Amino acid sequence: MRKAIPFLLTIGVVASLAACSPADSTTAEDSGDCSVTASGTASEAVDVSGDFGTKPEVTIDFPTDVSETERSVAIEGDGDQVAVEGATANVHFTLYSGATGEELSVTSYDETGIAPIPIDAEQFLVGIVKTIQCSTAGARVVGVIPPEESFADDAAREQLGVAADDDIVFVVDVVSVDAPAGPALPRADGEDQPAEDGFPTVELDDDGRPTITIPSTDPPAELGIAVLKQGDGETVEENSDVTVHYVGMNWTTGEIFDESWARGTPSTFNTGQVVPGFKAALEGQKVGSQILAVLPPSEGYGEAGNEGAAIGGTDTIVFVVDILGVG
């Protein structure tokens, strides 16, 4: 499976669905207080079979060509509705090319592969939000999404094999719905901790954005975790949904390969869906903390590396993470 931005995520395309396009949305027909995206010829033509919660069998009448997102319901749900901006839909999904019908990415369709997607067009692609919003738990929904409401980021398109003028087709099972979490911190606000020898150094600008300096030594062979700021908020439990700001840097090259600060908005994900070293660095820590993690290949992307992030199979990677909220 191709990895995608931010590169710390192991479920592939979820973070590529992060806000890469203008956060505006046109919806049709109302359902109570929720504006439902209208179905259309293209979404109705997507043939979907199989039971909810299992990988669907999908046939697409390609190439699709829509001017705005079309949404159709393949299986009706009867659970909680994704009706509030900021709510989180916990989903399984499969993503296809509208140009070729080719499968681009898929979750595992088991409990460990459930992907949390906040319903917020500032965080996720407009077309993804328009597909999921107003759905109910237990529903399987089809979205046919045009380029204008899809990837504005050429790197994300290239990694997935999506051309600039290609639609994408998103088939999603809404497993459950979480109410919006309380407001996250803007930056880690914990108590500064003494620096640890052998780790990269970190300096913060006025907004809290970290600058990482790699030491002129070989990277450690084992996972290294240091607390830079000790928070006193809620503890990150195993497989928790977390909201964080982070910077990821390649120790070998000194290059940043991904950061939420540059996108201007924190990232939200489940700790069960990240590479092992990142999971270990977050779980057990408290909201308000800032963590420095040094991941050897065995704790990151292994011998395969991550070509899209320019991470080789022998490269050690470094993260500085502000834990801003849980739930």
Fold agreement between 13-178 and 191-326: yes
13-178 sits in which CATH class? alpha beta
- Residue 229's pLDDT is 98
Say if pTM beats, i.e. exceeds, 0.85. Answer: no
For position 177, what pLDDT does the model report?
A: 94
Average pLDDT for consecutive 10-residue bins of the chain (327 residues)?
32 48 40 81 98 98 97 97 86 96 92 84 85 97 96 75 94 92 85 94 96 96 97 94 93 94 85 90 97 96 88 96 92
What pLDDT is recorded for position 18? 55
Neighbours of 26 (CB within 10 A): 12
**Would you kindly state where each structural domain of the chain is located, as residue ranges?**
13-178, 191-326
Which tokens sit at 318?
């470094």
Q: What share of the chain is helix, strand, coil (3-state, %, to 5)?
A: 15, 35, 50
Domain 191-326 CATH assignment equals 3.30.390.30:
no
One-letter amino acid at 55 equals K
Long-range contacts of 162-166 (CB under 8 A, 24+ apart): 162/97, 162/99, 162/104, 163/99, 166/63, 166/97, 166/98, 166/99
